[in-house]
């Protein structure tokens, strides 16, 4: 083992934010590497400030280090200033825990939360002296793994990743450790092919080199496993009960400021609101709530251990947690023993209940509140199944302004299916109306409308939809700029060009691997950072590979087309997704199945799973604005935690 | 420190090793968390938006080490200062350690205004990182000390200013051979201030600093010259720790 610190240290005097590279966070573990164990390097392929707070990586870091046969360290993409010095002095990519060279690990695992980080994966491998393409790796090179939401379409990264973990990683990392451990101990018999073949037999693990893709022109004709024992399709991994996984137990506290710089406690995983544009909501079903008592304990102990004065209760829609009132109330009343603690709920619904919760947690400083109506008209919100009426929004906003808030921020998507200019312009109308409501209470009322270009994702009802071109998105941004000029509405928007690159990487097939490699070789790293992004690199790479960007982005797919990710399964029946796509086009909404009868999307039935909630009563405020009176009951298709489970789980 | 409620305390701490790469602001945040981890309540300012009563002394640049950093804190209740260094150090990042704490008199002048001189140890190497001979530096130091003016250019918010640092240099000498280069000992005033890198720059273009360590800060009032822990202590001797 070679510690690189003496060679890294002299470089740090010349770089921005050198503390990105020193590790030493409170909560950092001291991994012990044993020759017959498996060493993991867990990499978030973006800057330290973006990557450190990633909960998935922190969870696996703890789970692996608890195993006697594994040790795990962390790595983050070095910023371009340090990378230049590292390449100049031949210092390889390293871990921040013990500054160990990447190539000395048995497994390198990347967390892929989004697609634009793909080129950074190649850069980290190359900087580590590891061949970027899987086929070029030798037996002694690390096994390269990837997990995270983006891997639900693994194909664009198939050339570079040896094995993908689809779904929850908590259990899969243990299974992988055992296979790699035994292969190492047995003298690597059969070489890389043998260990990858074994990994391909694990539930939730997809090894792209075990599959052959046949094309017919631009279309995919078939995807076939190369061995009879390798499954035709890979089903995602799902942990049945969050109560069994109270991680991270020691959340890392970084020395420098990072995004989400606070204690984060995951209160549930999965979402059944069924917003049709939302990949996270579709692929993480069913809903698994953490028992209230366990959440309380994690908050109280986490605050004590970290010294943070703020906690975020994380999930895809935190106000839907069935114990939210009790949990928030306990924290703000100081019942958790820490006093003066701020609470943030990162994903708020748009309703009066949410404003009530918000006024609980922001007793002192009420400055800004954020809502996400996503679509500019009721018609369009039915299409995307974000069933918020304008009355819901205005009532929530009125409540917020009347209780002292001054700034509202509204999130919208543009380029949604069936969107007409009147829908787009509805964004400006809503934002203007919000300002008007605010003016009744305060002269300083303002509203920011933040618009992003919609990029369809795999395993959603919109996976067949041809996204808007960059020019069309730009035109819609222009409409909104004109419509909000000379008003108190502030408009902010994402670069439409980046939506095209994201579209290529999101719904591409294996042929996109060559494109990603070209973009990287042309210097395209940190593609999520506007100062490093240029669409030209992507279009030039597509042209060089003879691939038409429109085929992958703006083209509508047909029902019978084999999609590049059809052999990866998130549990959602293809029929269900297609029906939901047709329902979207017919402007039909679909209620939240947590509190209404099951419509059989496929996840619970196929995987023998159930929603796990802490209370049989739907949270106040209902769900999805469907107008149902949910608090009075009806059949609730959920498994309830027994009181013993709820009390005993820690 | 201003305010009547609470118990003002001056703390001395060191910042050594890898942790020297964090900023002054990061160090302040680390103390904030450490006080909360140890449940040491800080008194809040009065008024509409109460803020914790903590004030730091001179900033330490990113990359510089120190055994003489200071901060003033007003605690909400009286604390056992003998136990304080151990408790707070345990909750701080590795390399940051509290090495002393004293009760302050009420309304003691702020550290920022009180400290008038600081001492540094600066290990000098060539620009390429090669060793530097002590005797060569002795000659350069003599030339620097005999100069009547030492103009250096500072860039602040995009504007360039020329500052004469000669009046701020009180002492400069070769101290000992370092691990790689030669270690200098310097004492500089805080008004006008002199930065370690500027001291090295006036020695000549061929040199740069490798390690910079702040070894002392001084509060001078008339003839008296005190370490900040002694300057405005309520019961100086009693509360000194480690």
Beta-strand pair A234-235/A568-569: parallel
What is the structure's pLDDT at A650?
A: 34
The structural domains of chain A, with segments of one domain joined by +, span: 5-235, 240-347+572-650
Q: Do B49 and A364 touch (CB under 8 A)?
A: yes
Residue B36 touches partner A, C-beta closer than 8 Å: yes
What is the structure's pLDDT at A366?
A: 64
Q: Do B37 and A19 touch (CB under 8 A)?
A: no
What is the structure's pLDDT at A115?
A: 98
Q: Which residues contact A193 (CB under 8 A, 6 or more apart)?
A: none
Q: Closest-CA residue in chain A for B61? A: A13
pLDDT at position B138 over 60 = yes
CB A289 within 8 Å of CB A321: yes
What is the structure's pLDDT at A644?
A: 38
Which residues in B lie closer than 8 A to residue A19 (C-beta atoms)?
21-23, 26, 62
Q: Which bin fits A340, alpha (ψ -120 to 50), beta or left (φ > 0)?
A: left
The residue behind tokens 């296979």 is A179
Residues in chain A: 650
Q: How far is A83 from A14, CA to CA, in rounded Å?
A: 12
Same fold, B7-113+228-239 and B116-221: yes
Beta-strand pair A38-44/A568-569: unpaired
Nearest by Cα to A443 from A403, A401, A399, A410: A401
Q: How far is A588 from A596, CA to CA, in rounded Å?
A: 16
- Give me the mean pLDDT over the B196-208 stretch: 95
Range A240-347+572-650 classified under CATH 3.40.640.10:
no
Distances in Å between the Cα of A289 and the Cα atoms of A239, A461, A571 are: 12, 25, 19
Residue A13 touches partner B, C-beta closer than 8 Å: yes
Q: Closest-CA residue in chain A for B64? A: A13
In DSSP terms, A123 is beta-bridged to none
Average pLDDT, whole number, for chain A?
91
By mean pLDDT, which of A188-197, A637-646, B42-51, B91-100 is the weakest? Answer: A637-646
For domain B7-113+228-239, give the fold: Alpha-Beta Plaits (3.30.70)
- Could you check whether the bond before residue A248 is cis, i.e. omega within 30 degrees of 0? yes
Q: How far is B151 from B149, CA to CA, in rounded Å?
A: 6
Nearest by Cα to A40 from A228, A209, A181: A181
Out of B18, B21, B33, the one facing A253 most closely (by C-beta) is B33
What is the structure's pLDDT at A336?
A: 47
What is the structure's pLDDT at A354?
A: 75
Average pLDDT, whole number, for chain B?
92
| Contacting A residues, span 212-271, partner chain B, CB-CB under 8 Å | 253, 255-257
Q: Closest-CA residue in chain B for A310? A: B33
Which residues in A lie closer than 8 A to residue B37 (C-beta atoms)?
304-307
CB A623 within 8 Å of CB A354: no
φ, ψ of residue A304 in degrees (nearest 5): -65, -40
Q: How far is A8 from A86, CA to CA, in rounded Å?
A: 8
Q: How far is B171 from B218, CA to CA, in rounded Å?
A: 14
Per-residue model confidence as pLDDT tens digits over B153-182: 998 888 899 999 999 999 999 999 999 999
Task: Note the Cα A569 to chain centre separation in Å.
Answer: 17
Structure tokens at A81: 């200033």
pLDDT at position B13 over 60 = yes
Per-residue model confidence as pLDDT tens digits over A134-151: 999 999 999 999 999 999
Which residues in B lie closer than 8 A to residue A253 (C-beta atoms)?
33
Helix A421-439 / helix A390-402 crossing angle, nearest 10 deg: 30
Residue A305 touches partner B, C-beta closer than 8 Å: yes
Three-state SS annotation for B172-231: EEEEEECCCCEEEEEEEEECCECCHHHHHHHHCCCEEEEEEEEEEEEEEECCEEECHHHH
Nearest by Cα to A74 from A64, A83, A84: A64
A530-569 residues labelled b (16+ CB within 10 A) or e (exposed): eebbbbebbbebbeeeebebebbbbbebeeeebbbbbbbb
What is the structure's pLDDT at A337?
A: 44
Q: How far is A176 from A24, CA to CA, in rounded Å?
A: 28
Q: Give A290's DSSP letter.
A: P
Q: Which residues contact A170 (CB under 8 A, 6 or more apart)?
A: A59, A60, A63, A239, A245, A247
- Mutation target vs A (from B15, B19, B21, B87; most A CBs, 10 A cutoff): B21
Residues in chain B: 242
CB A53 within 8 Å of CB A261: yes
- Give me the mean pLDDT over the B19-44 stretch: 95
Range B116-221 classified under CATH 3.30.70.3190:
yes
Residue B62 touches partner A, C-beta closer than 8 Å: yes
What is the structure's pLDDT at A340?
A: 72
Which residues in B lie closer than 8 A to residue A308 (C-beta atoms)?
33, 36
Q: Closest-CA residue in chain A for B23? A: A256
Q: Give A148's DSSP letter.
A: S
Q: Do A22 and B62 touch (CB under 8 A)?
A: no
> Which residues in A454-500 belong to E strands, given as ranges?
489-493
What is the structure's pLDDT at A320?
A: 85
Element holding B73 (H helix, E strand): strand B65-75
Q: How far is B99 from A550, CA to CA, in rounded Å?
A: 65
Residue B91 touches partner A, C-beta closer than 8 Å: yes
What is the structure's pLDDT at A593?
A: 82
| Contacting A residues, span 564-583, partner chain B, CB-CB under 8 Å | none
Architecture of the domain spanning A5-235: 3-Layer(aba) Sandwich (3.40)
In DSSP terms, A640 is beta-bridged to A613
Q: How far is A15 from A79, CA to CA, in rounded Å?
A: 9
- Mutation target vs A (from B30, B36, B52; most A CBs, 10 A cutoff): B36
Burial label, A507 (beta-carbon count in 10 A; 0-12, 13-18, 19+): buried
Beta carbon pairs, A and B, within 8 Å: 54
* Max Cα–Cα distance, chain A, nearest Å: 75
Q: Model ipTM? A: 0.92
Per-residue model confidence as pLDDT tens digits over A61-86: 999 999 999 999 999 999 999 999 99
The structural domains of chain B, with segments of one domain joined by +, span: 7-113+228-239, 116-221
In DSSP terms, B161 is beta-bridged to B154
Distance from CA of B20 to the nearest CA of A (A): 8
Q: How far is A175 from A167, CA to CA, in rounded Å?
A: 14
Nearest by Cα to A172 from A209, A140, A145: A145
Burial label, A597 (beta-carbon count in 10 A; 0-12, 13-18, 19+): exposed
* Run means of pLDDT, 10 residues per run, chain A, 650 residues: 88 96 97 95 98 98 98 98 98 98 98 98 98 98 98 98 98 98 97 98 98 97 98 97 97 96 95 94 95 95 94 90 87 62 77 74 68 94 92 88 89 97 97 96 94 98 98 98 94 96 98 98 97 97 98 97 98 96 94 81 89 67 45 35 38
What is the structure's pLDDT at A627?
A: 45
> Which residues in A188-252 belong to E strands, given as ranges?
205-206, 211-216, 219-225, 234-235
Which residues in B lie closer than 8 A to residue A24 (C-beta atoms)?
18-19, 93-95
Q: Closest-CA residue in chain B for A365? A: B49
CB A409 within 8 Å of CB A370: yes
């Amino acid at each position: 083992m070679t510690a690189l610190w003496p060679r890294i240290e002299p470089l740090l005097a010349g770089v921005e934010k050198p503390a990105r590279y020193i590790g030493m966070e409170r909560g950092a573990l001291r991994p012990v590497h044993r020759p017959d164990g498996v060493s993991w390097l867990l990499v978030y392929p973006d800057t330290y400030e973006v990557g450190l707070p990633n909960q998935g990586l922190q969870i696996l870091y703890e789970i692996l280090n608890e195993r006697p046969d594994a040790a795990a360290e962390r790595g983050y993409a070095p910023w371009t200033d340090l990378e230049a010095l590292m390449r100049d002095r031949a210092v390889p990519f390293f871990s921040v825990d013990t500054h160990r060279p990447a190539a000395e690990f048995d497994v390198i695992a990347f967390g892929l939360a989004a697609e634009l980080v793909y080129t950074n994966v190649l850069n980290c491998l190359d900087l580590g002296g590891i061949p970027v393409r899987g086929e070029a790796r030798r037996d002694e090179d690390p096994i390269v793994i990837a997990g995270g939401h983006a891997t639900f379409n693994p194909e664009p990264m198939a050339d570079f990743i040896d094995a993908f973990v689809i779904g929850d990683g908590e259990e899969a990392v243990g299974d992988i450790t055992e296979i790699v451990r035994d292969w190492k101990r047995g003298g690597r018999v059969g070489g890389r092919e043998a260990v990858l073949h074994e990994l391909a037999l694990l539930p939730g693990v997809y090894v792209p080199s075990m599959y052959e893709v046949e094309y017919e022109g631009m279309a995919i004709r078939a995807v076939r496993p190369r061995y009879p024992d390798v499954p035709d399709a890979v089903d995602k991994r799902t942990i049945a009960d969050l109560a069994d996984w109270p991680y991270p137990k020691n959340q890392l506290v970084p020395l420098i400021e990072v995004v989400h710089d606070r204690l984060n406690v995951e209160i549930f995983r999965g979402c059944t609101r069924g917003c049709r544009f939302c990949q996270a909501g579709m692929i993480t079903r069913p809903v698994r709530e953490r028992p209230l008592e366990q959440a309380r304990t994690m908050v109280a102990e986490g605050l004590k251990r970290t010294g943070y004065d703020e906690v975020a209760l994380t999930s895809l829609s935190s106000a839907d947690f069935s114990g939210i009132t009790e949990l928030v109330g306990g924290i703000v009343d100081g019942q958790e023993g820490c006093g003066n603690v701020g609470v943030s709920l990162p994903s708020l619904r748009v309703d009066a209940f949410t404003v009530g919760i918000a006024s609980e947690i922001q007793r002192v400083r009420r400055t800004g509140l954020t809502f996400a109506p996503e679509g500019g008209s009721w018609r369009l919100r039915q299409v995307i199944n974000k069933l918020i009426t304008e009355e819901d929004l205005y009532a929530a906003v009125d409540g917020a302004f009347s209780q002292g808030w001054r700034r509202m921020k509204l999130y919208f998507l543009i380029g949604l299916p069936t969107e007409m200019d009147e829908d787009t312009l509805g964004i400006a109308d809503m934002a203007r109306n919000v300002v008007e409501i605010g003016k009744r209470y305060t002269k300083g009322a303002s509203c920011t409308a933040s618009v992003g270009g919609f990029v369809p994702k795999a395993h959603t009802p919109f996976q067949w939809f041809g996204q808007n071109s960059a020019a069309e998105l730009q035109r819609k941004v222009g409409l909104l700029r004109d419509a909000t000029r000379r008003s108190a509405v502030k408009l902010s928007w994402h670069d439409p060009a980046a939506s095209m690159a994201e579209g290529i990487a999101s719904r591409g097939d294996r042929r996109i691997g060559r494109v990603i490699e070209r973009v990287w070789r042309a210097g395209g790293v940190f593609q999520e950072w506007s100062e490093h992004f240029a669409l030209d690199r992507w279009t030039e790479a597509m042209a060089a590979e003879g691939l038409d960007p429109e085929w992958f982005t703006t083209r509508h797919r047909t029902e019978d087309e084999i999609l590049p990710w059809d052999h990866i399964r998130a549990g959602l029946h293809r029929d269900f997704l297609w029906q939901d796509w047709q329902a979207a086009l017919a402007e039909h909404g679909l209620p939240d199945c947590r509190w209404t009868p099951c419509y059989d999307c496929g996840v619970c039935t196929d995987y023998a799973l159930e929603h796990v909630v802490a209370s049989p009563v739907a949270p106040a405020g209902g769900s999805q604005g469907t107008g149902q009176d949910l608090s009075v009951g009806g059949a609730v298709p959920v498994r309830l935690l027994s009181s013993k489970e709820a009390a005993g789980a820690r | 420190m201003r305010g009547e409620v609470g118990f003002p305390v001056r703390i001395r701490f060191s910042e050594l090793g890898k942790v020297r790469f964090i900023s002054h602001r990061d160090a302040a945040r680390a103390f904030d968390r450490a006080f909360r981890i140890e449940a040491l309540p800080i008194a809040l300012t009065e008024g509409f938006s109460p803020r914790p009563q903590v004030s730091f002394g001179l900033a330490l640049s990113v990359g510089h080490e120190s055994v003489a950093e200071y901060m003033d804190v007003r605690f909400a209740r009286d604390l056992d200062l003998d136990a304080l260094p151990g408790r707070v150090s345990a909750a701080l990042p590795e390399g940051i350690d509290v090495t002393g704490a004293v009760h302050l008199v009420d309304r003691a002048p702020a550290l920022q205004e009180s400290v008038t001189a600081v001492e540094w140890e600066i290990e000098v190497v060539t620009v390429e990182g090669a060793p530097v001979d002590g005797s060569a530096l002795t000659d350069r130091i003599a030339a620097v000390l005999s100069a009547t003016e030492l103009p250096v250019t500072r860039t602040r918010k995009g504007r360039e200013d020329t500052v004469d640092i000669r009046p701020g240099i009180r002492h400069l000498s070769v101290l000992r051979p370092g691990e790689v280069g030669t270690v200098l000992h310097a004492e500089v005033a805080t008004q006008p201030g002199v930065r370690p890198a500027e001291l090295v720059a006036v020695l000549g273009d061929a040199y740069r600093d490798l390690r910079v360590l702040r070894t002392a800060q001084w509060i001078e009032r008339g003839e008296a010259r005190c370490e900040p822990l002694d300057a405005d202590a309520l019961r100086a001797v009693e509360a000194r720790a480690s």
